Amino acid sequence: MRQKTILLSLAALAAPAFLFLWEQVQATRLGYQVSAARTEVRRARERVAYLRLELERLNAPESVAEAARRRLRMGPPLPESVVVLGAPRLAPVPTAVPKRPAPAPAPLLASAIETSAPAE
């Protein structure tokens, strides 16, 4: 009975020490993992920053205008090519060319901007 008590006491003393040791080892191991993850995050952020800047570069008005001109043969719309939806309608000033019959109803977006106008 006495032996059992001694062994249990020793075990009770050793258990927190082992627990402490285990916790320290785990903390160090997790620390390495966190550190590695942080490095990975930092590098991913750096990569994202470069990609975002590249995206901005491609979205720059000059790049877009150049791409529109070269690839799609688009140009700035003429004033009469733009119809502002909801704006009051104004009487057109007649010119020498007679009016054509009204075209068939077009989709809303197509009627908003005529893209057939030649480039300026």
Partner 1 sequence: MSTLTRLRLCGWLCLLPVLPLAGRLFWLQLVRHEAYEAKVDRSVERQDLEIIPRGRILDRDGRVLAESLPAWSAFLDLKALADMDQPPERVLARIGEALGLEDAELRKLARAERRTVWLKRKMDYDDARRLRALDLPCVGLEPDELRGYPNGALARPMLGEVNSEGRGAAGLELAYDRSISGRAVPVRLRRDGAGRSIRRDDEDPALTPPDLTLTIDRAAQFFAEQALDEALAARRAAGGVVIVQDPSTGEVLAMAVRPADARRNHAVQDVYEPGSTFKLVTAAAALENRTLKPGELVDCEDGRWQVAPSVTIKDHDKQGRLDLADIIKHSSNIGTGKLGLRLGAKEFFRFSRLFGFGYKTGVPLPGESAGLLPDGPADDVRLANAAFGQGVAVTALQLSAAFAAVANGGTLYEPSLVRAVGAQPPRAPVAVRRVASPETVAGLQEMFIGVVEEGTGVSAKIPGYSAAGKTGTAQKIDPATRRYSATDYVASFAGWVPARRPRYSILVVIDTPRVGYYAAEVAAPVFSQVARRLLALNGVPPDRPLSVKGRVHVENTPAPKPVAPAPSPSPLPRHPSLPRPSFLRSAPRA
Name the site residues for partner 1 (rule: CB under 8 A): 17, 20, 28, 31-32, 34-35, 38, 45-47, 49-50, 52-54, 56-57, 59-62, 65, 76-77, 79-80, 82-95, 97, 99-100, 102-106, 111
Q: What is the DSSP letter of 80?
A: G
CB of 90 to partner 1, least distance (A): 5
CB of 33 to partner 1, least distance (A): 10
Residue 45, number of CB atoms within 10 A of its CB: 10
Quick check: 117 and 78 in contact, CB under 8 A?
Answer: yes
How many residues are present in the chain?
A: 120
> Comparing C-alpha atoms, which of 54, 55, 117 is closest to residue 83?
117
Q: What is the DSSP letter of 95?
A: -
Distance CA 67, CA 69 (A): 5
* Closest to partner 1 by CB, 45 or 73: 45
* Closest to partner 1 by CB, 11 or 82: 82
CB of 11 to partner 1, least distance (A): 14
CB of 71 to partner 1, least distance (A): 18
